[in-house]
Structure formats: structure tokens, C-alpha cells
Copies of this chain bind each other. A is one copy, B any other.
Amino acid sequence: MLNSDATDHATGNAEIARQFAALGDPIRFAIIDRLAREGEVPAGALSEGFAVSAPAVSRHLGVLHKAGLVQRRVEGQRRLYSVAPESMRRIALWTLSHRAFWQGSLSRLDALIALEEHSDD
């Protein structure tokens, strides 16, 4: 058991973990997936789309907003939500930093060899 550095090697690991946690709920994941496809969607439309009450969706949106995954824009009485691009980029970057594990159909050993070969990133 070491200090907290041991659980947080790279910069911003805690933040991306919180973003993954936000994406971990099926409803929130579906919300993000839908926003990424449809662009801006008002809260009310999302409530109709998912099988929980409007207050529940509202709080899910709050969680996503707090995690930095969505942006909110006020237009009249509606709140229009959309995906925050930077957050998606952060997640994509993380997957790319470990791309040796998913590029092609690599075995675990191949992945490690690939990691050795381009150790930059």
C-alpha cells in the first residue's frame, strides 16, 4: 500500500475515472450516445425517450454535466443538452494510449511487443 500516486500515475486519471463512472449507468450511456448522434436535445425530449421519470433524467443530466460530459444551453424555457467534445476527446485519447491492446487482432503478447516498439505516446 503506497501513497495516492500509486493509484494515479498519469495526469487527470481521477477525472477520466469520474467520466467513466458517469458513462457506466445504462441510461446515462444511452443519453450520451443519443446526444452524440442527434446533437442538441432538450431535457424534455430525453425524458420521453427513456423509461424513467423526468426528475430522474434531470438528475442523470446533472451527473453528466458535473462529470464534464455534457454542456447545457438555455433557450427560453428549454435546456438544450449536448456532448462536450473535450470529454469525448479525453476518453478517445485514453483508448489510443492503450491502442496496442485493441489494434488488429493482437494477442496479449503481441500487444506488449507493440508497446515496446513505439514507447512514445
Residues of A in contact, count (CB < 8 Å): 63
Q: Is A8 a contact of B26 with CB atoms below 8 Å?
A: yes
Given contacts A49-B6, A112-B39, A26 and B1 within 8 Å (CB-CB): no
Q: Is A101 a contact of B36 with CB atoms below 8 Å?
A: yes
Residues of B within 8 A of A22 (CB): 24
* A92–B21 alpha-carbon span in the complex (Å): 17
Query: Which of B8, B26, B83, B104 sits near A17, CB closer than 8 Å?
Result: B26
Residues of B within 8 A of A29 (CB): 13, 16-17, 20
Output the residue of A2, A33, A40 with the most chain B CB within 10 A.
Answer: A33
A43 proximal to B (CB < 8 A): no
